[in-house]
Amino acid sequence: DAGVTQSPTHLIKTRGQQVTLRCSPKSGHDTVSWYQQALGQGPQFIFQYYEEEERQRGNFPDRFSGHQFPNYSSELNVNALLLGDSALYLCASSPGSAQETQYFGPGTRLLVL
Amino acid sequence: QQQVKQSPQSLIVQKGGISIINCAYENTAFDYFPWYQQFPGKGPALLIAIRPDVSEKKEGRFTISFNKSAKQFSLHIMDSQPGDSATYFCAARTSGSRLTFGEGTQLTVNP
């Protein structure tokens, strides 16, 4: 049973560009959450998708957007990249029940130059 | 009110010793408190978790102590091993499974 998978593992972009990160949830999980982890800090919640809709959103600008597909996989899009967007982007999945905890993928390391 | 405060920032323990990491929160709407372990270059891995109606939970060498009135909880790692060297994050969850993380504690266990 594969856990949460993310692609790509590493990515280098320049300021102003756009990026798309991808996540496949753990088998049986239908809820996907995205987090940004800056170096030396704890993960910060970006948003959560359930039934192909954004269910919750953290304190991130509209440059951050997402999508969930019918197979529960998800994408995170970031437009107009800034240097400060350099971070590890983590995807976490969980079953639809709010009582279950989240399982994290290995992350995508994004470097903005 | 959404913050979770974690201490210490770093911790050095000798092999066989006890590692203790503390967290405090303000939001009484938090209903689930997991601890995650993260190795360099990896995503956080769930270690142990507790709900606020329980004061203590033990799984192997890992124990969570929870003080609801003080809004504090802690992780105790007994018989610490060099393989436990990692960054540990406490977290708290509100309904809908959104997690709020502490700042992290970098644990080093010397052989």
DSSP B71-110: TEEEEEESS--GGG-EEEEEEEE-TTS-EEE---EEEEEE
Distance CA A48, CA A102 (A): 11
The dihedral of CA B48, B40, A2, A18: what is its sign?
positive
* Mean pLDDT across chain B: 94
Nearest to B96 among A42, A90, A98 (CB): A98
CB pairs under 8 A between A and B: 60
What is the full per-residue pLDDT of chain A (113 aa) written as tens digits? Answer: 679 999 999 999 999 999 999 999 999 899 999 999 999 899 999 999 999 999 889 999 999 999 999 999 999 999 999 999 999 999 999 887 656 678 999 999 999 99
Residues 7-46 of B with CB under 8 A from A: 32, 34, 36, 41-46
Backbone angles phi, psi at A25, to 5 degrees: -75, 165
From the list A81, A84, A106, A97, the residue with the least C-alpha distance to A22 is: A106
Q: How far is CA A111 from CA A41, B68, B97, in A?
A: 16, 40, 28
Determine the average pLDDT of the residues in B32-48.
94
Residue of B nearest to A95 (CA): B97
